[in-house]
Amino acid sequence: MDLQSRLKTIKMVILDVDGVLTDGSVIYADESFELKIFDIKDGLGIRMLIAGGLIVSIITGRTSAAVARRAGELGIQDVYLGKTRKTEAYAELLGKYGFTGDEVACIGDDLYDIPLLRRVGFPVAVADAVDEVKQVARYITQKAGGRGAVREVSDLILKNQNKWEEILRDFGIHD
């Protein structure tokens, strides 16, 4: 199946966090205070996917209050924290929504993402992903993780599903 046909079938986008929604940096201020930097453009891309009727989920190996807060701000309802075995959460999501693997995209950057990327219909690696992730990806973003990679994929999906113009109108961006 070609790229455009594959994108038209996507109903869910699963995101890793560190290295995908962030640049992979973690700043500790003390024992309980963690800082993460999220790209605002990625956030709008997520909101646009949700407005376009797609499910956006997070599955990450780390547990972070900052991630839970950001997910809540963006309207992401399915957030799995501390899941290094990401395929277990993935199976739960497929059961919950009744999707097949072909209807799912996943964006990853590192080794823990590979088992999940191998199971989805549209596996994506961010530009600065490790080589092993790039080898299983069907698409490698031009943008790095935490620097617009999620927005790049969001725009790609929405434009290929002919939802772009409607979403721009709904967001008051385009007449």
Task: Give the model confidence (pLDDT) of 91-102 as tens digits.
Answer: 999 999 999 999
Give the chain's domains with CATH numbers: 3-162 (3.40.50.1000)
Separation CA 33–CA 136 (nearest Å): 35
pTM: 0.95
Which pLDDT value is given to residue 21? 96
Separation CA 101–CA 92 (nearest Å): 12
Which pLDDT value is given to residue 34? 80
